[in-house]
């Protein structure tokens, strides 16, 4: 009984301490991005924050912040530290897979995570105008848009959309086997090539983005999200 009482006493004392420590760590992570905090975040640090967020997400340790408090704190201004180009796929929601919250990241989503003049203009706004320090092009496996491009689908406006993936399709060789969306390694190769080529295209298609990269004020990365594990792997 004495042993049990002592044990219970220790445990009762330990839980509030652990909870207080966790609450402290959580409140720091829940602080919204301000222009000063954004400016103080180096491009490499911006990428590192996203990597750490995905590690929390895959570990089941996403941080539960008071979102309405963040809404109030960002009402007058926003200063996101990164911009993400992602697919519309319901399983790759960037804010969730990177464990980000209100005011943290810009997101541009379109089937297959490709870019056009509107999205590049949005990225110029995110970086040059508002000050985001990193751009991530986030592809994913089993992507319907990539599979449709591999199968050369013709349907309505999807036909024009799929032309965005021609540069990635052009990386295929005979060694990749039959061009068919059931050929998983081939589909994955196209998805990875598309993310990488899309990321590389940004400095070629946008003098504004190139100037920021050359000045080391901005970093561009390509990454792949695995919809079976939630894990993001980095291509560059």
Interface with Zn ion (CB under 5 A): 87, 89, 143
Q: Which is nearer to Zn ion, 191 or 213 (CB)?
A: 191
Q: Which is nearer to Zn ion, 87 or 134 (CB)?
A: 87
Contact in structure between 105 and 127 (CB atoms under 8 Å): no
Phi, psi of 216 (to 5 degrees): 60, 30
Q: Which is nearer to Zn ion, 149 or 213 (CB)?
A: 149
Phi, psi of 209 (to 5 degrees): -65, -40
- Taking the complex as a whole, the smallest distance from the CB of residue 112 to Zn ion amounts, in Å, to 6
- Taking the complex as a whole, the smallest distance from the CB of residue 140 to Zn ion amounts, in Å, to 6
- Taking the complex as a whole, the smallest distance from the CB of residue 6 to Zn ion amounts, in Å, to 56
Q: Which is nearer to Zn ion, 138 or 213 (CB)?
A: 138
- Taking the complex as a whole, the smallest distance from the CB of residue 141 to Zn ion amounts, in Å, to 9
Q: Which is nearer to Zn ion, 64 or 228 (CB)?
A: 228
- Taking the complex as a whole, the smallest distance from the CB of residue 120 to Zn ion amounts, in Å, to 19
């Amino acid at each position: 009984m004495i042993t049990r009482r002592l044990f219970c006493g220790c445990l009762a004392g330990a839980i509030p301490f652990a909870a207080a420590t966790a609450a402290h760590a959580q409140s720091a992570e829940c602080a919204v991005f301000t222009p000063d905090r954004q400016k103080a975040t180096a491009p490499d640090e911006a990428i590192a924050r996203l990597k750490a967020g995905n590690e929390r997400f895959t570990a089941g340790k996403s941080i539960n912040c008071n979102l309405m408090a963040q809404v109030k704190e960002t009402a007058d201004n926003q200063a996101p530290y990164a911009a993400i180009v992602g697919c519309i796929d319901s399983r790759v929601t960037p804010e969730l897979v990177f464990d980000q919250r209100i005011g943290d990241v810009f997101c541009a989503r379109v089937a297959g995570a490709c870019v056009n003049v509107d999205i590049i203009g949005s990225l110029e706004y995110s970086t040059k105008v508002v000050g985001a320090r990193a751009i991530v092009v986030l592809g994913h496996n089993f992507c319907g848009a990539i599979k449709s491009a591999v199968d050369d689908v013709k349907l309505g406006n999807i036909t024009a959309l799929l032309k965005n993936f021609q540069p990635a399709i052009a990386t295929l060789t005979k060694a990749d086997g039959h061009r068919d969306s059931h050929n998983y390694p081939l589909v994955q190769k196209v998805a990875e090539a598309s993310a990488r080529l899309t990321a590389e295209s940004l400095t070629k298609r946008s003098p504004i983005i190139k100037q920021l990269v050359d000045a080391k004020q901005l970093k561009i990365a390509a990454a792949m999200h695995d919809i079976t594990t939630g894990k993001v792997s980095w291509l560059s």
